[in-house]
Amino acid sequence: MQDLTTKENVDRLPILVSGNGTVQLLNVPKLPNGTCSEIAKAVVGALKDWDLTERIGGMSFDTTSSNTGRNNGVCVLIEQQLKKDLLYFACRHHDLELLLAEAFKTVMGPMSGPNVTMFKRFQDHWQFIDRSQFESSDSHPHVRPKANSG
């Protein structure tokens, strides 16, 4: 994001803590760089500033390899600096992405890159689709609502 004083782009990290139905923003420090060690240092520094190091029991994070790396990931570095194990609450959004990717691969087959051929073809032909003739699939005679299982 843009720095308020120099107008240069800087990396910032919002650090939040929650418990007892409350969420508190501890700090949004500038990071000299986006390395795992700098991120861990910033998190532990904010916890120390707020005198929370003894009260932290877990951490929530997205499942990028920079956070979850088993040797030098941010989570491991935070645990090392705090000298204790923490519960990991990986972001459900990213967990569901992994499940969805596997389901998609099962139905559509393996992909060699980020572009899915069927979607790419759809994108290339979008300009030729008459969107004024839009019709919901619900109105198609071969599409029926799912019967209630209850």
H or E element that contains 12: strand 11-12
Phi/psi at 133 (5° precision)? -100, 30
CA separation (Å) from 3 to 17, 32, 147?
Answer: 24, 12, 55
- In 50-116, which ranges are continuous DSSP H helix? 65-68, 74-82, 92-108
Here the tokens at position 21 are 């139905």
Tell me what the mean pLDDT of segment 92-105 comes to: 75
- Decide which of 139 and 26 is more confident: 26
Angle at 49 between CA 53 and CA 75, to 5 degrees: 45
Q: What is the mean pLDDT of the chain?
A: 84
pTM over 0.85: no
